[in-house]
Structure 1
Amino acid sequence: MAPDVGVSTPATAALTAARVPYTVHRYRSVMVNGSFGEEAVDQLGAALDVAAERVFKTLVVAAPGAGRAGLAVAVVPVPRRMAPKAVAAALGVSRVEMADPAAVTRATGYVLGGVSPVGQRRALPTVVHTSATAFATILCSGGRRGLEIELSPADLVAVTDAVVADICA
């Protein structure tokens, strides 16, 4: 494991506790409006030569019938768009829509732009896009804006108990 000295989030703590190897990548987040995912791609792509398809965004959706909170997580590559019908099918619910930001923070403990699929306050049902399995490692939010964690897709799926499905448009 390669935890960065001085970096501790619920996501990194959960990965460390589960003995999942990961690497932390930091960048200076200056996003005010726009896409936090695209900011991560721009910053990490330049610094680490990371392809945009390896950087995944965490989208929290309202999914009535999916778990206690009625929320779920879709983990998709930054350049791609989530397909709500495909996410609903993967979760076994009738429909999904983007969740209210305040509900996201309450359920996950993270702020928008820093929502990690790992270490959430309430573990939400999770679906990871199939393209993740094509890479040895992928990057996703580490639980704070400007903080990405790199780990194997298999470890992400295992630690979040995720379903892998084609959930992009």
Structure 2
Amino acid sequence: MRKTTPATIALTTAGVTFATATYDYDPGSDRVGLQAAAAMGVAPGVVFKTLMAEVDGKPVCVVVPSDEEVNMKKLAAAVGGKHAAMMKPADAERLTGYKVGGISPLGQKRKVPTVVEETAVLLDEIFINGGQRGLQLRIKPEDAVAALAAMLADVIR
């Protein structure tokens, strides 16, 4: 597995400290974030999944703990919209340049508004996808938010 991806390049270029962690990706898993947490032996609440959504037809990236679900009404409200829905996987891959299961909020082909669940900053560190299936980045949540120019908001159920 290569550990240099657009996500790691983005963090390195920004001077952000991070560490990589790898795990055996299970393509049959229904919940990649939970599978990643189990494979790495860490709590599911510190592994954050990256989801691509559309709010009023415009793309939005949302980053939430792997053991939580996005509340679409809260997501829409967080970005000043009325209606939110999950993006189709093929559209997410085309927009981000990453494969589903390996979508990172960092280093995407096209920069879109990003929302990080506000509880992330209560943790010392989190794991976010590194831009490849089986690759996670261990990072301070405030560093991730800054590198993403993300907004913090309550977007879980």
Q: TM-score, normalised by structure 2?
A: 0.95
Q: Give the fraction of aligned pairs with identical amino acids, expressed as a percent.
A: 39
Q: What CA RMSD, in Å, does the superposition of the two structures yield over aligned residues?
A: 1.3
Q: TM-score, normalised by structure 1?
A: 0.89
Counterpart selection for 1:59 from 43, 48, 51 = 51
Deviation track 1:6-33 (CA, whole Å, cap 9, x = no partner) reads 5110000100000100000001112224
2:104 is aligned to 116
1:163 is aligned to 151
In structure 1, how many angstroms separate the alpha carbons of the residues matched to 2:147 and 2:75?
19
How far residue 74 of structure 1 moved from its aligned partner, in angstroms, is 0.9
Is the 8 Å Cα contact of residues 126 and 163 (structure 1) preserved in structure 2? yes
1:66-85, aligned counterparts within 5 Å?
A: 70-85=58-73
Q: Structure 2 unaligned runs (5+)?
A: none
Structure 1 stretches of at least 4 aligned residues deviating more than 6 Å after TM superposition: none
- Residues 1:41 and 2:37 are matched in the alignment: yes
Corresponding pairs, count: 157
1:135 is aligned to 123
Q: 1:114 to 1:6 in 2, by over 3 A?
A: closer
How far residue 123 of structure 1 moved from its aligned partner, in angstroms, is 1.1
In structure 2, how many angstroms separate the alpha carbons of the residues matched to 1:101 and 1:51?
26
In structure 1, how many angstroms separate the alpha carbons of the residues matched to 2:126 and 2:3?
19
Is the 8 Å Cα contact of residues 21 and 135 (structure 2) preserved in structure 1? yes
Deviation track 1:58-104 (CA, whole Å, cap 9, x = no partner) reads 01001236xxxx21011100111110000111111111100011111
Q: Structure 1 unaligned runs (5+)?
A: none
In structure 2, how many angstroms separate the alpha carbons of the residues matched to 1:18 and 1:37?
25
Provide the secondary structure at the position in 1 that maps to 2:75.
helix
